[in-house]
Amino acid sequence: MTAPPPMSLLAELTHRCPLQCPYCSNPLALEPKNNELSTEEWLRVLDEAAALGILQVHFSGGEPMARKDLPELVRHAARAGLYSNLITSGVLMDRDSLAKLADAGLDHVQLSFQDVDPKQAEIIGGMKGAQPRKIEAARLVVEDGMPLTLNFVIHRLNADRVPAMLDLAEELGARRVEIAHTQYYGWGLKNRAALLPTRQQLEATEKTVAEAREKFGSRLAIDFVTPDYYADEPKPCMGGWGQRFLNITPSGRVLPCHAAETIPGVVFPTVREASLKDIWEKSKLFQMFRGVDWMPEPCRSCDRKEIDWGGCRCQALALTGRADAADPVCRRSSDRGVVDAALSEINGSSDSFVYRRYGSGE
């Protein structure tokens, strides 16, 4: 299948980061600094992205502000006509560094928060004093007039504070907030037993989000990403494999999603050896699960096959050992039992007690 040009590029500039979140979407094996693409290589890649028809570039990491050449890359993206978004923890941002990025033409900032409670945030991020720096970064972005999105990754340890997260987003002047449940691959899968929320927490969060949408109206847009283990149908991961999105790792490997390197027996193309256009259109990796021809049953005869595109390949691999299996989140998958087992472990691990009752005959 041939694909139209991708819409977005996630540029993972570095895996270096002052934080250590246990649900990070980076791979378990992190890339060393001396393997990172040079400034010149990124400039060429940005030109190739624009020529391919990409509209948006998300500068990400690790912490992208750990790269000293970030303003230069942003300026180049702006000149190439790319809309630029900075995905940052905010802990390295100050008035001066933000001014340089704004001057270079940065369009948007997405700031990640680990919690609203500073102590809990430190337990997740592993960095002392991170929360006040993030709050300050948010204030600087809003003061500058740049649109700000806050991102909260939700899990069992912070789900009860979603109402306070939404209030903080409004108070800081964010235009958008993402209440995004942890996705379970890479570090998230490794820590799943501690992170998966209970059904009760999920229901409470859904209610909170619905009420907040009423309360805040157009002042604050709320994106809600559910933990798909609780769903009956899989998510259309990345909008379909190799259809809308590409991801470049710090050393230049080009991937259809951030977890694709977990797939065994595949050659990962790199911008050091081929153009983005060739990789997008011709590489084996991008064609592997593009469209519907690769699909097994029950996906192949499912009327949702061009809606969810078979779900997430990396989740299928992580949970069944086969990247070409149906995503086991799907109720029609013969592997759904592995997802239900994880859920019953969490929900059965007792929030409720069986009280001793005298005279019950036991």
Nearest distance from C-beta of residue 234 to ligand FES, angstroms? 9
The span of 55-63, 92-100, 207-215, 254-262 binding ligand FES (CB under 6 A) equals 254-262
Q: What is the dihedral of CA 256, 259, 263, 266, to 10 degrees?
A: 40
* Gap between the Cα atoms of 127 and 73, Å rounded: 27
The span of 2-10, 36-44, 208-216, 308-316 binding ligand FES (CB under 6 A) equals 308-316
SS3 297: coil
Cα 129 from chain centroid (whole Å): 24
**Residues placed in the known binding site:** 17, 21, 24
Amino acid at 99: A
Q: Which is nearer to ligand FES, 16 or 313 (CB)?
A: 313
**Residue 252 near residue 41 (C-beta atoms within 8 A):** yes
Place of tokens 């991801």: 247
Query: What is the token pair recorded at 129?
Result: 């004093």
The span of 11-19, 73-81, 234-242, 277-285 binding ligand FES (CB under 6 A) equals 234-242
Task: Say whether residue 339 binds ligand FES (CB under 6 A).
Answer: no
Sheet with 8-12, edge to edge strand ranges? 221-225, 176-181, 148-154, 108-113, 83-88, 56-60, 8-12, 245-248, 254-255
**Residues placed in the known binding site for [4Fe-4S] cluster:** 17, 21, 24
Task: Say whether residue 312 binds ligand FES (CB under 6 A).
Answer: yes
Query: β-pairing, 245-248 with 254-255?
Result: antiparallel
Amino acid at 64: P
**Residue 90 near residue 134 (C-beta atoms within 8 A):** yes
| Interface map 130-149 toward ligand FES (x if CB under 6 A) | --------------------
Task: Say whether residue 285 binds ligand FES (CB under 6 A).
Answer: no
Options 159, 257, 299, 325; binder of ligand FES; rule CB under 6 A: 257
Q: Which is nearer to ligand FES, 64 or 188 (CB)?
A: 188
Options 24, 131, 313, 329; binder of ligand FES; rule CB under 6 A: 313
Task: Say whether residue 329 binds ligand FES (CB under 6 A).
Answer: no
Nearest distance from C-beta of residue 181 to ligand FES, angstroms? 14
8-state DSSP, 254: E
Options 91, 174, 177, 259; binder of ligand FES; rule CB under 6 A: 259
Q: Which is nearer to ligand FES, 165 or 323 (CB)?
A: 323
Options 10, 314, 319, 330; binder of ligand FES; rule CB under 6 A: 314
Task: Say whether residue 325 binds ligand FES (CB under 6 A).
Answer: no
8-state DSSP, 340: H
**Residue 325 near residue 179 (C-beta atoms within 8 A):** no
Binding-site ranges for ligand FES (CB under 6 A) = 185, 237-238, 241, 257, 259-260, 312-315
